[in-house]
Amino acid sequence: MNYFVLFVLVMGLSFILPTHAQLQNFENVDVKVVSISKITSENSDVLKINVTFINDGNSASQILANTIFLVDSKQREFASSTYLQLKEKGHDVSSKDCPLIFTIDVNPGLSENANLCYEIPKDANLKYSLKLYESTPEICAEPIFDCTIKTFPINISDVSSDAKSLSKIPEWIKNIFVWYGQDQVSENELLNAIKYLVQQGIVKLD
């Protein structure tokens, strides 16, 4: 083999290997879902999952936030999102709901809690699970690595909806009711506003 090619390969591995090695004692990590809630919005929802990471080993473990994916029954993988990313898309979330998380360090014999948020489509009757890669999916896809992948099912029946999102009535809807009382909008416009509330699930008709 050409020595220059060999040098390039070695240098390339020197950049890849540290990234892969960041996840230490992965085998000792267990995941427990504490609670799940859904933050609803017009075009998509946010699934907020409170998770406990448990280290049953004898030395510290480290988990990268970009190695924890939500997988649905259509085999689609969703990367976690922070409150900054979700706010840009119009979701009503806070830094407490979906904090900035880069690494989760768990000391031996202890556990750490974290809130993970995933933007999901408005699909019904789907099953979900958390998929934890030993390293990033890009690294694990490399044939030279033998990455472990752990999957933890989620009981979607336990999902609750955040009250703040369900009671979120747009200001323009509120104004229409006021304007209707002042004869500034027509009955047809009022009915269209009520129809919108029903379509968005804000008001339910039995």
pLDDT tens for the chain, 206 residues long, are 454 444 334 344 434 434 444 456 678 888 998 889 888 888 899 999 999 999 988 889 888 888 999 999 999 999 999 999 999 988 888 898 999 988 899 999 999 999 999 999 988 778 899 999 988 888 888 888 788 888 988 876 555 555 444 445 666 677 777 777 888 878 888 888 787 777 666 666 65
What are φ and ψ of residue 151, in 5° steps?
-120, 135
Residue 192's domain spans which residues? 169-199
> Does residue 73 form part of some domain?
yes
> Does residue 204 form part of some domain?
no
Pairing of strands 103-106, 160-161: unpaired
What are φ and ψ of residue 53, in 5° steps?
-100, 125
pLDDT for the residue numbered 166: 43
Q: For the chain, how long is the longest CA-to-CA vector?
A: 85
> Does residue 206 form part of some domain?
no
88 and 64 in a single domain? The answer is: yes
pLDDT for the residue numbered 167: 46
118 and 195 in a single domain? The answer is: no
91 and 188 in a single domain? The answer is: no
Asked if 191 and 203 touch (Cβ cutoff 8 Å), the reply is: no
- When divided into structural domains, the chain yields a total of 2
pLDDT for the residue numbered 41: 84
pLDDT for the residue numbered 174: 73
135 and 156 in a single domain? The answer is: yes
> Does residue 176 form part of some domain?
yes
pLDDT for the residue numbered 137: 83
pLDDT for the residue numbered 203: 65
102 and 125 in a single domain? The answer is: yes
178 and 140 in a single domain? The answer is: no
> Does residue 58 form part of some domain?
yes
Distance, in Å, from the CA atom of 86 to the CA atom of 112, rounded to the nearest integer, reads 24
98 and 79 in a single domain? The answer is: yes
> Does residue 107 form part of some domain?
yes
CA 185, 190, 191: angle at the middle one, nearest 5? 145
pLDDT for the residue numbered 206: 53
100 and 190 in a single domain? The answer is: no
pLDDT for the residue numbered 51: 92
Q: How big, in percent rounded to 5, are the helix, strand and coil portions of the chain?
A: 30, 30, 35
187 and 99 in a single domain? The answer is: no
CA 52, 54, 56: angle at the middle one, nearest 5? 170
70 and 145 in a single domain? The answer is: yes
pLDDT for the residue numbered 162: 55
> Does residue 109 form part of some domain?
yes
CATH of residue 134: 2.60.40.1240
